[in-house]
Amino acid sequence: MYIPTEFQEVRPETIQALIQNYPLACLVAQTVTGLSAIHLPLLMKSDTVLLGHLAVASDWHLAVPEGQEILCVFQGENAYISANDYPSKLRDHRKVPTWNYQVVHIHGTVSYLTDQKSKLAAVGMLTKKQERVANGEAAWKMSDAPKDYLLEQLAYLAVLEINIHKIEAQSKLSQNREAQDFDAVIEKLHGRGKHVLADNMSDLKSI
């Protein structure tokens, strides 16, 4: 991924937060019939491993064999930035629109686990994490489902692990703009309801 120096994201906590808050990744791989992509929620099992699961019926695990390198793309907040958002435009009109965004690319090799123990562990980790966010104290638990039904559903899944080789992250948040324009973009984003992106820009001012 091309990343201009001013947009390089190197803060580990920011990268981890993006993956955690926007877990639905686009996984891209080269197959014998061309490029193939699949969308899966993933979580960081450790600093070096991503974890997820996929439907066996998708056949993606057959088209993308174990050990093959894949790319996982996590897309965070993003928004259109109008040239009219910059106060400096009034001086010379030498401004054009752009797009602000945050994204993480993870390169790694894929492996699959199909034993029942691995499936239970993986689904348990993913479910517990998302249920805590969605429902708090009222979180659904795997034990809420009848055991025979749960095992029946697990039969349709395969666990996917990605051993991470490289992480690239970009926060394109108007860092290349003068202070007045930068602050104006934050204000405009708040006005358009893009509060998270605006707050992420504000965080840069404390670095």
Q: How far is CA 16 from CA 23, 37, 88, 156, in A?
A: 10, 23, 35, 30
Contact residues for 57 (Cβ-Cβ < 8 A; gap 6+) = 156
Interatomic CA distance for residues 24 and 41, integer angstroms: 4
pLDDT the model gives residue 207: 76
Beta strand pairing call for 49-55 and 34-41: unpaired
pLDDT the model gives residue 206: 81
CATH number for 5-83+93-175 (one of 3.40.50.300, 3.30.70.930, 2.30.110.10, 1.10.274.50): it is 2.30.110.10
Q: Are the beta carbons of 61 and 158 closer than 8 angstroms? A: yes
Beta strand pairing call for 49-55 and 43-46: antiparallel
Interatomic CA distance for residues 136 and 166, integer angstroms: 33
For residue range 59-107, list pLDDT tens digits in order.
899 999 999 999 999 999 999 999 999 999 888 888 899 999 999 999 9
For residue range 102-161, list pLDDT tens digits in order.
999 999 999 999 999 999 999 999 999 999 999 999 999 999 999 999 999 999 999 999
Residue 8 has pLDDT above 90, yes or no: yes
Number of C-beta neighbours around residue 133 at 10 A: 11
